[in-house]
Structure 1
Amino acid sequence: MKKFVQIVNNIAYWIFEAKELPPYPNVKDFLEITGREGIEEGFFYNSETGEFTPPIISEPIPVEPQPTLEEMQAQTLLNTEYLVSRSELGLGGNYNDSI
């Protein structure tokens, strides 16, 4: 059995084994890679050098954890107490003061 790879947009798209390359319409998109180990689907193909390189996988962007229900309730309570205390001290904070 021979090993073949289909190249799509300079990427190893499909790797398969067959006795011979079937008569696909675009035979130029296929390469025989029998005996070449370590090539996997998703690898980049350099048509000038004939080399395959693994894709560069960037580090995931850290995501801030979402606050829990209890944390959101505590923040709402703190905000409410803050606004009430400002209102009681005559510093504003009432809804009517902002209109």
Structure 2
Amino acid sequence: FHYDESTQTCRCPAGNEMWRSGINVKSYNQEYTRFCGYLKDCKTCPLQQQCMRKPPIKTGRQVQFKNDASRKKLSYSDKMKVKIDSPM
């Protein structure tokens, strides 16, 4: 999957454009941008068996990418790990 952060677009391995289905989606203390493939594209895709666990019925393939801002934020436990690991 090719995610272009500057244009907020995503293309699947078959080259089909995906639609952005969520911005700042929160999961496990991280924020993501989520994309979904068009059902019509996924149903007829030659790469379907490699890309999806089951044939698509209601939605196409979904992927999400971490937002830069959420990558820069450290949790309190991560901050403590940095202090413990750093040499004194």
TM-score range, shorter chain: under 0.3
The TM-score, its normalising length taken from structure 1, stands at: 0.19
**Which protein shows a greater Rg?**
1
The TM-score, its normalising length taken from structure 2, stands at: 0.20
Relative contact order, higher structure (CA 8 A, sep 6+)? 2
Q: Which has the higher strand share?
A: 2
